[in-house]
Amino acid sequence: MFKGLKNNLIAGVIIGLCLVSVASYADDVSDVEKAIINSVEDGLSTSIKELKQVVNINSGTMNFDGVKKVGLIFVKQLTELGFDAAFVDGSAFGRAGHVVATREPTNGPTGNTSGSKILMIGHLDTVFAKDDAFQAYNDLGDNRVHGPGITDMKGGNVIIIAALRALYEQNLLDNVSIKVVMTGDEERSGSPLKASKKAIVDAAMWADIALGFEDGDGDIKTAVVSRRGSIGWSLDVTGRAAHSSQVFRDEYGFGAIYEVARILNEFRLQLSTEENLTFNPGMIIGGTRIDYDRTKSAGNAFGKSNVISQVVKVTGDIRALSLEQLQMTKEAMNKIVANNLTKTSATITFEEGYPPLSPSPGNNKLLSLYSQVSEDLGFGLVAPVDPRKAGAADISFTEGYVDMAMDGLGLMGSGGHTKDEIADMTSLSKNIKKAALLIHRLSLYKQMK
């Protein structure tokens, strides 16, 4: 839920901010903002070198040494910008750990000591393991660079540093309080999830605004103001084993495979038309007996065509746009699972996962401010990403704590999570400038607790 007094004041604050933004910057940026832009341009070669450095260090989620090595590079850079920064050990949740950094000025040049509190979110890990063949930064020319995790999301981390550095060089960081959290397990979350995501949640409870630097849908003309959550589910079905000639008889029933077919088909019939909802059975295994290894998402089965199936297991995921939609889906699935065929039984369990980042007026207002910055810089409007194109991400754990949240501010490109991951380097300087100016404009206005 929203935080007390902030909830009562936020609408007026944002409306005022929008009006001032339009009036002051409709034709051009201010002299202060021009200085910020110059700092970004002067530092662009440094940002590219820093991007190459971190891309060339493998930081697959389970390569703890690599994740920490990348994290310590960002800790050093943030410390140089006046942040209290550290790499926080992740042994409590079975991962390398996170970067957590805070800068809370006591006195700023404008005397604004209780301005916006902004959380900037990145992640250190990639999907590419230590022994993967895809390991290196490779300049393809024509502003295209090929590299593991370059857009998802080492480029976004570099944008965070570069935007903050530009503000620091213009003595503007004392106008705003900022936390930076770069997680080490976004691609493969540690367990328990409560411990894994504690750094994000704690920072969100402190913050007014959350900015995520993932690459969104890879289009610089869009940003993410709503994301679907993602949770897993597991379906276990049993039947009565017997000779196949007895199938359908009341005393032997339909068997586990017919029952699981009924359940999955009812899921499809009853829920597949729900807007922004998807539910996917990703693995199925069944027969007379099965062996399933959850850690490997693999298994084997034994069964014969002349034996009624005795056991089936299905695993899948659900992606929903709101907690209400997720709850409705769980209830519908439970009801379908309970309506068993003769001599069968079934249970469904739901796992913890990523919550949705629900659409909200605050998120939309933040997007409008960001779009105004983009227009003022001559880069054009920024539109919301279709939530069907926005996967789960760490920013979703700010849901219910911050007044405004937006993601997709990182380095744009294509081929994320594949060996064809390529960055559009023209987006690097643009998104650094946009992030720096957005933070500066937000810093000019107080958002009281």
Q: How far apart are CA 182 and CA 395, in angstroms?
A: 11
Band of residue 14 on the pLDDT scale cut at 50, 70, 90? very low
Q: Is position 1 within any domain?
A: no
Give domain status of residue 398, yes or no.
yes
For residue 6, tell me if it sits in a domain: no
Proportion of the chain above pLDDT 90, given as a percent: 86
The torsion angles phi and psi of 79, rounded to 5 degrees, stand at -60, -40
Does 2 map to a domain? no
Domains of the chain: total: 2
pLDDT computed for residue 106 by the predictor: 66
Residue 4 pLDDT > 90: no
Whether the per-residue pLDDT at 325 is higher than 90: the answer is: yes
Q: What local confidence, expressed as pLDDT, does residue 175 receive?
A: 85
Q: Report the pLDDT averaged over residues 339-348.
A: 98
**Same-domain check for residues 128 and 199:** yes
Whether residue 12 lies inside any domain: the answer is: no
Q: What is the pLDDT of residue 107?
A: 56
Q: Can you tell me the mean pLDDT for 91-101?
A: 98
Residue 220 contacts by C-beta under 8 Å, 6 or more apart in sequence? 379, 412, 424, 427, 430, 431
Q: Give the model's pLDDT for residue 114.
A: 53
Q: Beta strand pairing status for 311-320 and 209-212? A: unpaired
Query: Are 125 and 269 in a shared domain?
Result: no
Task: Examine the domain organization and report whether 318 and 371 are in the same domain.
Answer: no
pLDDT of amino acid 121 = 98
Band of the pLDDT at 27, cuts 50, 70, 90?
low
In this model, does residue 389 exceed pLDDT 90? no
Residue 19: what pLDDT? 39
232 forms beta bridges with 317
pLDDT computed for residue 78 by the predictor = 98
Mean pLDDT over residues 252-273, rounded? 98
At residue 395, does pLDDT exceed 50? yes
Last residue of a domain, one of 350, 366, 386: 350
Is pLDDT of 378 > 60?
A: yes
Confidence category of residue 105, pLDDT binned at 50, 70, 90 = confident
pLDDT average, residue stretch 39-67: 98
CATH code of the domain in which 273 resides: 3.30.70.360
Do 368 and 435 belong together in one domain?
yes
Mean pLDDT, to the nearest integer, of 357-383?
Answer: 96
pLDDT at 300 over 60: yes
Residue 445's pLDDT band (cuts 50, 70, 90) = low
Region of poorest pLDDT, from 6-10, 274-278, 337-341, 372-376: 6-10
Tell me, yes or no, whether 5 lies in a domain. Answer: no
Contact predicate 331/271, CB 8 Å: no
State residue 344's pLDDT score. 98
Of 332, 350, 368, the residue at which a domain comes to its end is 350
188 has pLDDT over 50:
yes
Q: Is-contact 162 182, C-beta < 8 A?
A: no
- Please say if the pLDDT value at position 112 is more than 70: no
Neighbours of 41 (CB within 10 A): 13
Residues 245 and 318 in one domain: yes
Q: What angle do CA 65, 181, 75 make, to 5 degrees?
A: 55
Residues 221 and 248 in one domain: no
pLDDT confidence of residue 437: 97
**Mean pLDDT, the chain, as a whole number?**
91
Indicate whether 318 and 212 sit together in one domain: no
Q: How confident is the model at residue 384 (pLDDT cuts 50, 70, 90)?
A: very high
Q: Supply φ then ψ for residue 25, to 5 degrees.
A: -125, 15
> Is residue 261 domain-shared with residue 217, that is, in the same domain?
no
**C-alpha to C-alpha distance for 368 and 364, rounded to whole angstroms:** 6
- Same-domain status, 315 and 362: no
CATH of residue 372's domain is: 3.40.630.10
Domain end (from 320, 350, 380): 350
Tell me which of 400 and 296 has the higher pLDDT: 400
pLDDT band at 16 (very low <50, low <70, confident <90, very high): very low
Question: How many CB atoms are located within 10 Å of the residue 186 CB?
Answer: 27
**Same domain, residue pair 142 and 33:** yes
Asked if the model's pLDDT at residue 20 lies above 60, the reply is no
**Does residue 13 fall inside a structural domain?**
no
**CA dist 365 to 224, 285, 370, 430, Å?**
12, 47, 9, 21
Same domain, 294 and 344: yes
Q: Are 344 and 365 members of one domain?
A: no
- The pLDDT of residue 423 is 98
Asked if pLDDT for residue 317 goes beyond 90, the answer is yes
Q: Is the pLDDT reported for residue 42 higher than 70? A: yes
Q: What residue numbers bound the domain in which 286 lies? A: 230-350
Q: Which residues of 269-281 are buried (b: 16+ CB within 10 A; e: fewer)?
A: eebeeeebbbbeb
**pLDDT reported for residue 29:** 85
pLDDT in tens, 200-223: 999 999 999 999 999 999 999 999
Please check the confidence at residue 316 and state whether its pLDDT lies above 90. Answer: yes
Residue 109 resides in a domain: yes
